[in-house]
Amino acid sequence: MTAADYAVSLIEPGMIVGLGTGRAATAFVKALGPKVRAGLDIHGVPTSESTAELARLLGIPLLTLADAPLIDITFDGADEVDPQLRLIKGYGGAMVREMIVAAASKRLIILVGPEKLVPHLGTRGLVPIEVLPFALAPAQRAISRLGYSANIRQQDGKMVITDNHNLILDVSVPPLGQPERLEQDLLAIPGVVGTGLFLGMAESALIDDHGEVRIMSRA
């Protein structure tokens, strides 16, 4: 059984389900589609336009946060998971919508492979943040004053534009001893819409380890 299959087994009829973004979340949505077509009565709330498009193709009925102010359970991936189930997300660029959906959820369950488990957040060296285009240069200067560098995320020679029509800065960091402090410092910068630090939000992680699913719970 994969983590995606295990996640689908946790869904009950009538639930409103948050649908994450990224490779692990895509696998979950693809596993959910056949169950819905077979009669599982649920609605999804997508965290990105790409996830919404995939869900529609698979026949998963969707709601907006206006229609579903409270979500029963959200399944999403992560780029780093530390032993306290603190996360870094956003390598796929959808962290602000993912944060909003997670905050509106009763439960947040993360699907990852063992390579995403780290002893300290920042092990992979980046914390993504979403920034208003107007605030790009001032935000970079403010981050520099904090002692970090921040590069504009680009793809194919063009700046990456989020679904919210903002830009992404990848902040270079060492392994973080106090990720909460960095989160506060980054969110205090005018024009920063959100960060990839998801602290104290995940209930558990389903670790897909070569065909076996291990469950990691927050103490």
Catalytic hit among 80, 98, 130, 183: 98
Is there a catalytic annotation at residue 98? yes
The bridge status of strand 126-131 relative to strand 167-172 is antiparallel
Beta strands in the chain (DSSP E): 16-19, 43-46, 73-76, 80-81, 87-88, 108-112, 126-131, 149-152, 154-155, 158-159, 167-172, 192-195, 197-198, 204-209, 212-217
* DSSP SS3 for 50: helix
- The helix (run of H) or strand (run of E) holding residue 24 is helix 23-37
Catalytic residue set: 98
